[in-house]
Amino acid sequence: MAILEILEYPDQRLRTVAKPVTEFDNRIHRIVDDMFETMYDAPGIGLAASQVDIHERIITIDVSEEKTEPLVFINPEITVLEGEMETMQEGCLSVPGFYEDVTRVEHCLVKAFDRNGDAFEMECRGLLAVCIQHEIDHLEGKLMVDYISPLKRNRIKDKLEKKHKLEARQGKR
């Protein structure tokens, strides 16, 4: 297993729409394992393959406190959205250090495949529902910052670009 580099906003590769997975083979298993290692190391509760420059429809999630409930969603589709809209502070491994209020539906049904290609459906509520919607957005090339005002988005972009330039000068990127 390996820890992968997480792309950071405003990297344009984050805007790439991911393609469906068509073969569930050892390559996919390796990607899933590497994504979990990367997500836990970051540390985060969700990671889309797009965030690690793999533009395939793969998501890893673990919203448990103990990090003992890993979930894999391949080619996920939200098939039913219902319930109340909920505003939560969201963070993102691709927008490090920033947390913003984002409003999403608090209850959804997700249809996907597991790492072996077996289809399943999962009813998601609360944090899990928010997380799956956030990660599916990544697969569509959409980011958390797209939900906030242009002024806030530009401030975040400027701060992260400054950070990236500093890291490049220090040889960290």
92 annotated as ligand-binding: yes
Token pair, residue 118, equals 């077996």
Q: Which residues contact 71 (CB under 8 A, 6 or more apart)?
A: 60, 61, 62, 122
CA atoms within 13 A on the CB side of 4: 24
Rounded to 10 degrees, the C-alpha dihedral 158/163/166/170 comes to -160
107 annotated as ligand-binding: no
The amino acid at residue 135 is E
Which one from 8, 56, 106, 135 is the annotated catalytic residue?
135
In the residue annotation, 69 being an active-site residue is answered as no
Annotated binding site: 92, 134, 138
Show which residues are catalytic. Answer: 135
Annotated binding site for Fe cation: 92, 134, 138
